[in-house]
Structure 1
């Protein structure tokens, strides 16, 4: 299931603190804004997985307008989206053997160049699926 919750990012020296106003107790931080956003997504995803597993009732996400007026000058809002279906699939991380048909010349060239066919296919699928 896809969820959208706003995070508040607040700079603190060389890192950003991250909190979720609708989900007290879900806090994290990151070194730099990009790391903070990655950590926010991980923290939110982990929390929501536990909530789903426990059949907890989740609060309705606040709107931007509800939250923006309560921000401090240094704080900023960032909408974080997580898809627990994808997170669960990654956590299972089960490998499945699939048969693939390739032209013989590609197989021979790949072997000659030391290409790992499984890793190459996984990279291509991740790119195609925007993962």
Structure 2
């Protein structure tokens, strides 16, 4: 049975070239955003999380449990952000594109 909602910690790394985003629990999920544009980073992280989870569901992969924020080691230019996605409307949108 598919879950309706997923929440994962994303690490936003602020660099001169822009904001790189990493989901430690989801290898291969690396969105990014323009420099100093946290709103865009939040939007891109949510979209990337939905796409990644949806792809894992389509491939019948096991969705990993999220790590605790206390288990993550941050660099000085990083912040941790909780990203949530409600999957039913996301799945519907993706399934109509296929």
TM-score when scaled to structure 2? 0.86
Alignment counterpart, residue 71 of structure 1, candidates 74, 79, 93: 74
Looking at structure 1, the residues matched to 59 and 38 of structure 2 have their Cα atoms a distance apart, in angstroms, of 31
Offset, 1:89: 2.2
Q: 1:76 to 1:86 in 2, by over 3 A?
A: same
- Higher strand residue share: 2
* CA distance in 2 between partners of 1:28 and 1:48 (Å): 14
TM-score normalised over the length of structure 1: 0.65
Corresponding residue for residue 85 of structure 2 = 82
Match of 1:23 among 5, 26, 31: 26
Output one character per residue of 1:81-122: Cα deviation in whole Å (capped at 9) or x when no partner.
01221102233569xxxxxxxxxxxxxxxxxxxxxxxxxxxx
Residue 5 in 1 paired to residue 8 in 2? Answer: yes
For structure 1, list consecutive stretches of 5 or more residues without a partner in the other structure.
95-131
Q: Which runs of 5+ in 2 are unaligned?
A: none
Q: Which has the larger radius of gyration?
A: 1
| Greater relative CO, 1 or 2 (CA 8 Å, sep 6+) | 2
